[in-house]
Amino acid sequence: MVPGFFIRMSQFLRESYIEVVKKASWPSWSELKKSTVVVIVAVLVIACWIGGLDFLFGQMTGPLFRAASK
């Protein structure tokens, strides 16, 4: 092993803890709820878009695959 590996690892963990607990700014509860709603709506819109494209391409390629398997 590299000498000092565990010392560097413990220093990294200590500094990471300080960064998250002491220095980071966390959103308020209302900001968190608004952001969550935005993310859920964005995921639903993208899921519908991908689902629609999948359905459309399936309808377009379905006859080709059925004809090729006969």
pTM of the entire predicted model: 0.62
Domain contains 51: yes
Write out the residue range of the structural domain in which residue 37 sits. Answer: 31-70
Let me know: does 27 contact 35? Beta carbons within 8 Å: yes
More confident of the two residues 3 and 50: 50
Our count of domains for the chain comes to 1
Per-residue pLDDT of 5-64, as tens digits, reads 889 999 999 999 999 988 888 899 999 999 999 999 999 999 999 999 999 999 999 888
The pLDDT of residue 2 is 62
For residues 55 and 67, give the distance between their C-alpha atoms in angstroms, rounded to a whole number. 19
For residues 67 and 61, give the distance between their C-alpha atoms in angstroms, rounded to a whole number. 10
Domain contains 8: no
The pLDDT of residue 12 is 94
